[in-house]
Amino acid sequence: MRLRLATWNINSVRPRGALIGRMVDEIAPDVLCLQEIKCQTGEFPQDMFEALGFNHFRIAGQKGWHGVAIASRLPIEDAPPLDVCREGHARSVGATVAGIEIQNFYIPAGGDVADPAVNPKFAHKLDFFARLTADMARRDPKAPLIVTGDLNVAPGEFDVWNHRHMSKVVSHTPVEVAAMAALQASLDFIDLTREATPEPEKLASWWSYRAADFRASNRGLRLDHILASPGLRQAAFATGRAESRVHDDVRGWEKPSDHAPVTADFQI
């Protein structure tokens, strides 16, 4: 059977009911990994998702900020909790679906100054990556594992609108790109969206609200990722290629998040 996983920084879940409903109707995910739900665990609108066919949940909420959730059409089992956020924020939630461990993250954006010595938010971001990378390095690469979410790094030259300019801006600085590369190398993760759309084609999943027309300004960044362990290569490439894409049309719908959903398909 096909399992379609979607990751989406929803930028506050409760006001986005119509947007989520349309997305589910048109894109048909089986597992939906959300970031920045911006509500406490008990405030998550499970009834809204149940009406859309999602009856299984893992939620890590926080008052007013952050928060992550996994909603699934298929039954969920627990996955190992990860100690990756030194500040204790609700930025990580895991679940096992159809034998696949899914770890969903909202990694800190890092503030405006790319210097951990003077910017605690940037130091937190780098520490988060270091902890996550160390955990992944201890894993069995043959085990089916997905690391996904808003990882808040655009890792490649063609994942930003202007490489030279963005190399000086938090999200694409050399130290962040190196941290992302170390995470990918820790378990030889497969960047499924880039496998499906190789460089030099540009890809983005986030566009600022500051632009009235995000396509006209075209200053996007690819911050949202689906990384698969080698143990999922056969499932991810069952058709002969990776089936993964950014649904950038969703960014243009009414009352959108500033992020577009990203999907990947697996044959399980």
pLDDT tens digit at each of 268 positions of the chain: 999 999 999 999 999 999 999 999 999 999 999 999 999 999 999 999 999 999 999 999 999 899 999 999 999 999 999 999 999 999 999 999 999 999 999 999 999 999 999 999 999 999 999 999 999 999 999 999 999 999 999 999 999 999 999 999 999 999 999 999 999 999 999 999 999 999 999 999 999 999 889 999 899 999 999 999 999 999 999 999 999 999 999 999 999 999 999 999 999 9
Q: Which amino acid is at 107?
A: I
- What φ, ψ does residue 231 adopt, rounded to 5°? -65, -10
Task: For residue 86, count other CB atoms closer than 10 A to its CB.
Answer: 12
Please check whether residue 31 is in contact with residue 54, taking contact to mean a CB–CB distance below 8 angstroms: no
Total structural domains within the chain: 1
Helix (H) or strand (E) holding 192: helix 192-196
Q: For residue 211, give its domain range.
A: 2-267
Q: What's the pLDDT at 117?
A: 97
The domain that holds 76 is classified in CATH as 3.60.10.10
Helix (H) or strand (E) holding 244: strand 244-246
pTM of the predicted model over 0.85: yes
Q: What's the pLDDT at 99?
A: 98
Q: What's the pLDDT at 211?
A: 86
Helix (H) or strand (E) holding 193: helix 192-196
* Burial zone of 148 (CB within 10 Å; 0-12 exposed, 13-18 middle, 19+ buried): buried
Unique residue bearing structure tokens 């890092």: 110
Q: How far apart are CA 84 and CA 27, in angstroms?
A: 31
